[in-house]
Amino acid sequence: MKNYFKKVKYYIHIYRMILIQDLKTKMSFRADFLISSFSGIMLNAASFISIWIMFQNFSSIMNWNYYEMLFLYGFSLLALTPQLVFFDNSWVLCDKVFKGDFITYCFRPINIFFYYTFEKININAIGQFFIGVTLITYSWIKLGLDVNTIIVFKLIISLLTASLFMIAIVIFISSMSFWIINAKGLMDFFSKFKDYTRYPFTIFNNFFKFVFSFIIPIGFVAYYPSLFFIHTEELSWISFFGVFYGIILLYFSYKVWVKGALQYSGTGS
């Protein structure tokens, strides 16, 4: 146990050093940082406006009203933020593997997954966090939901659990880069599915409900957790099963990623 905590302390120290260097690099190009951050905020704002326009013509979408949809969208933004901030490097793994650049990570005397994943952070996505908090707070008030210590605790746990699913899915999809010659198309294909996290699953038929619950479990990113707070009469066992499913999926995705990395031998050029 003592060696375990010593190892954890060592990796925390390494991460702090990596983080400081990455922030120094980003701050040396301040204009680029500000423009990127502003662009991210505007992109999310555009999505919010599209929801507002939609409800100018419809009173509800499959029994979800305007404020419930805002809650779902805000929850989705918050749940996706940890993956975008800390695991954004996963999206470029396919390029590094395809070009042979990933070989440089294979000679470091530390966990290869840790070094590659946390080499960079995407602080531009932090703006998304504040938008999500604003939308959840506003919709929570408008929906007249109760507020107490237990409910806030459940909200935080639900957000952390939802983030586990998104992180696990991205890690698993990116790990396919070690077996598929050019997995960029696969990553682009999956990135389109992220947009579905902001819609209620009642708009899908039973087949897609099953796919998005158990095959590509994006339903756990926002829809099922949101039911816990705004549609309590629709709660089912699946809402409580999420935390265990998320941990198992994350562990499985990590193991697949490491297995692929250990088998990697460069491009051969």
- Model confidence over 61-85: pLDDT tens digits? 777 888 888 898 899 889 889 888 8
Quote the pTM value: 0.82
What burial letters (b/e) apply to 169-206, b meaning 16+ CB within 10 Å? bbbbbbbbbbeeeebeeebeebeeebebbbbbbeebee
Distance CA 236, CA 201 (A): 14
What length is written for the chain? 269
Residue 262's pLDDT is: 86
83 with 170: CB under 8 angstroms? yes
Joined together, the tokens standing for residue 190 give 């999956």
pLDDT, tens only, 219-249? 888 888 888 888 665 554 555 567 788 888 8
pLDDT, tens only, 144-176? 888 888 888 888 888 888 888 889 988 998 998
